[in-house]
């Protein structure tokens, strides 16, 4: 377990790319006015990899901000679980989570998003979004948003969906001569686009887009 | 160019095409008309290779090859183009990336090198002008948030980009305003030559004033029940399908 305290007014950017063998376990406490941005990329190619990611985050000082952006491509027999536990213990905090997964073959993904707003954490703004696509009939994704909101003057929202690649879009692209594998790549690049743009670094984005294409190749 | 013999097709176990025969030669324009639900879009979907439909009988020869055995993308690269009755929105995939993938897939199929960025943009610009497609639309995601008419214009733009041998225009006129109809029809006419062919599916004689067909076919209940010259469309305008004594 990595234990971190982000001190008053500090900004921290955490990029997690290695998730196999439970190596990504974080407990982070945020003091007042701190900003934490986490980027989680589950793109490791090892078929058969298993791993559990834990992001246990608590805002213990007011006006803290927490952003979690993540994407993953799971293939083969991979089993990856991501659990976020975001707790607003004090007023005026903000958090936003956006996590997207594409699951193929017999891979199994799980996302558990626990969002807790303590009784005194008024004026909290918290958002959680989880979108997944299953690329084969044997792929599975378990998604479990869990909101516990004990304060009344807050803005909280969450959404979780799991779907398939849009067959009509796929056929439309094929009708223009695009091979289905290429069409799928373009559709998945589009699917992940909003997560990648949160990096604000076009070069890294490009590199990740290529990595995503590789993972699907 | 295209030879359809005794084509039968089903969707969800229900027979929609019940023995279509059609011969289309190079340089020809054919119009297909017929009541709602007759199977016009089904015919175009089957020709394009939509996996939702099952061909149960018959054959289709396209430029000397067995069309029904080709994957949809191969049919397209061989020069078959379908302007969809309902073009699909693809959020997040830019028109530019989409068209580049399509154009280069076709070029590779023909043994030509991929276009470089400059050549590609030049081509986009030239073809956009042909159908007066707004640059703003070309900069957006494929069809996303396009109006009905803009989508149809975008179909013809894509047709211009790909220069197909056989274009099937499924109700490309529906949703177009009067000026757009003229521009789109003129675009189609400019692309037409002695080596390619066009099938226009329409409900309205008006389009056929601009795109003048050599043949008009009436499709009803999964079969072609009448074939004539362009005057058949005029007759239809007068009498409706009931007047033909063939359908509802
Ligand atoms: N998934 C499906 N299951 C059952 N019937 C279907 C399905 N899809 C289409 N059909 C039927 O197939 C028939 C032919 O439809 P098609 O779209 O080819 O007609 P069309 O001639 O293009 O009509 P329109 O002029 O309204 O565009 C219709 O009766 C339609 O309801
Ligand atoms: Mg139709």
Residue B214 is classified by DSSP as S
Bridge-based pairing state of the strands B14-24 and B2-11: antiparallel
Distance CA B85, CA A24 (A): 50
The percent of residues above 70 in pLDDT, for chain B, comes to 98
Q: Is the pLDDT of residue B24 over 90?
A: yes
pLDDT, averaged across chain B:
93
pLDDT surpasses 60 at B246 = no
Query: Looking at the domain assignment, is residue B158 inside a domain?
Result: yes
The CA-atom distances, in angstroms, between B72 and each of A128, A177, B54, B85 are 39, 7, 14, 17
Question: pLDDT by residue (tens digit) across B46-62?
Answer: 999 999 999 999 999 99
Characterize the bridge pairing of strands A108-117 and A140-149: parallel
Query: Does residue B96 sit at the A interface (CB-CB below 8 Å)?
Result: no
- For chain B, helix (H) and strand (E) counts, in that order, are 9, 12
Q: Which residue has the tokens 């027979």?
A: B15
Do B128 and B96 form a contact (C-beta atoms < 8 A)?
A: no
Q: β-strand B90-94 against B141-142: which pairing, if any? A: antiparallel
Q: What is the pLDDT of residue B244?
A: 67
What is the best residue among B15, B38, B52 to mutate for testing ligand 1's pocket, by most ligand atoms within 8 Å of CB? Answer: B38
The answer to whether residue B248 sits within a structural domain is no
Residue B96 lies in a domain: yes
| Nearest to B101, CA basis, from A78, A181, A49 | A181
Contact A117, A126 (CB under 8 A): yes
Contact between residue A110 and residue A145 where contact means Cβ atoms under 8 Å apart: no
Contact call for residues A34 and A5 (beta carbons, < 8 A):
no
C-alpha distance from A176 to closest chain B C-alpha (Å): 6
Chain B residue numbers with beta carbons less than 8 Å from the beta carbon of A168 are 88
pLDDT tens track for B158-178: 999 999 999 999 999 988 999
**Residue B120 is assigned to a structural domain of this protein:** yes
Q: How does pLDDT run across A68-79, given as a tens digit for each residue?
A: 999 999 999 999
Which of A90, A102, A95 has the alpha carbon at shortest distance from A68? A95
Task: Using alpha carbons, select from A22, A19, A79 the residue that is nearest to residue A47.
Answer: A79
Site from B49, B73, B79, B82 to mutate, A interface, most A CB atoms within 10 angstroms:
B73
Write down the pLDDT at residue B247: 42
The residues, any chain, with a CB within 8 Å of residue B127's CB and separated by 6 or more, are: B157, B160, B161
Q: Is residue B114 part of a domain?
A: yes
This complex has an ipTM of 0.94
Q: Determine, yes or no, domain membership for B190.
A: yes
Residue B7 lies in a domain: yes
DSSP state letter for B139: T
- Whether chain A has a CB inside 8 Å of the CB on B159: the answer is no
Report the DSSP pairing between strands A25-30 and A50-59: parallel
CATH of residue B142's domain is 3.40.50.300
| For the CA of B34, the nearest atom of ligand 1 | 21
Number of domains in chain B: 1
The domain segmentation of chain A, as residue ranges, is 2-165
């Amino acid at each position: 377990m990595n234990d971190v305290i982000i001190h008053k007014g500090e900004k921290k950017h955490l990029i997690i790319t290695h998730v196999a063998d439970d190596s990504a376990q974080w407990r982070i406490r945020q003091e007042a006015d701190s900003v934490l941005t986490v980027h989680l990329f589950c793109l490791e190619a090892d078929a058969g990899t298993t791993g559990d990611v834990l992001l246990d985050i608590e805002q213990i000082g007011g006006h803290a901000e927490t952003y979690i952006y993540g994407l993953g491509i799971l293939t083969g027999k991979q089993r990856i679980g991501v659990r976020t536990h975001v707790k607003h213990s004090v007023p005026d905090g903000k958090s936003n989570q956006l996590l997207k997964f594409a699951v193929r073959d017999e891979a199994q993904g799980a996302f558990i998003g626990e969002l807790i707003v303590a009784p005194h954490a008024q004026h909290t703004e918290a958002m959680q979004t989880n979108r997944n696509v299953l690329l084969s009939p044997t792929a599975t994704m378990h998604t479990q948003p869990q909101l516990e909101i004990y304060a009344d003057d807050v803005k909280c929202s969450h959404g979780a969906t799991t779907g398939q690649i849009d067959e009509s879009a796929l056929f439309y692209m094929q009708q223009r001569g695009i091979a289905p594998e290429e069409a799928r790549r373009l559709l998945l690049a589009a699917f992940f686009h909003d997560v990648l743009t949160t990096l604000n670094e076009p070069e890294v984005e490009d590199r990740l887009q290529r990595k995503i294409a590789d993972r699907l190749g | 160019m295209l030879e359809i013999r005794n084509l039968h097709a089903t969707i969800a176990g229900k027979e929609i095409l019940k023995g279509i025969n059609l011969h289309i030669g190079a340089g020809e324009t054919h119009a297909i008309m017929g009541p709602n639900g007759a199977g016009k879009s089904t015919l175009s979907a089957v020709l394009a290779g939509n996996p939702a439909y099952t061909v149960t009988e018959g054959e289709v020869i396209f430029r000397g090859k067995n069309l029904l055995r080709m994957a949809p993308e191969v049919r397209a690269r061989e020069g078959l183009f379908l302007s969809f009755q309902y073009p699909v929105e693809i959020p997040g995939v830019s028109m530019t990336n989409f068209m580049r993938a399509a154009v280069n897939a076709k070029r590779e199929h023909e043994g030509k090198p991929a276009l470089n960025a400059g050549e590609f943009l030049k081509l986009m610009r030239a073809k956009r002008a042909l159908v007066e497609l707004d640059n703003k639309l070309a900069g957006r995601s494929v069809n996303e948030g396009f109006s009905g008419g803009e989508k149809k214009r975008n179909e013809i733009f894509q047709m211009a980009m790909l220069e197909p041998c056989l274009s099937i225009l499924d109700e490309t006129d529906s949703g177009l305003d009067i000026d757009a109809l003229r521009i789109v029809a003129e675009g189609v006419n400019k692309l037409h030559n002695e080596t390619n062919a066009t099938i226009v599916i329409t409900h309205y004689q008006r389009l056929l004033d601009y795109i003048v067909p050599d043949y008009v076919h009436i499709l009803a209940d999964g079969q072609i029940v009448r074939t004539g010259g362009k005057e058949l469309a005029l007759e239809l305008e007068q009498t409706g399908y009931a007047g033909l004594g063939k359908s509802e």
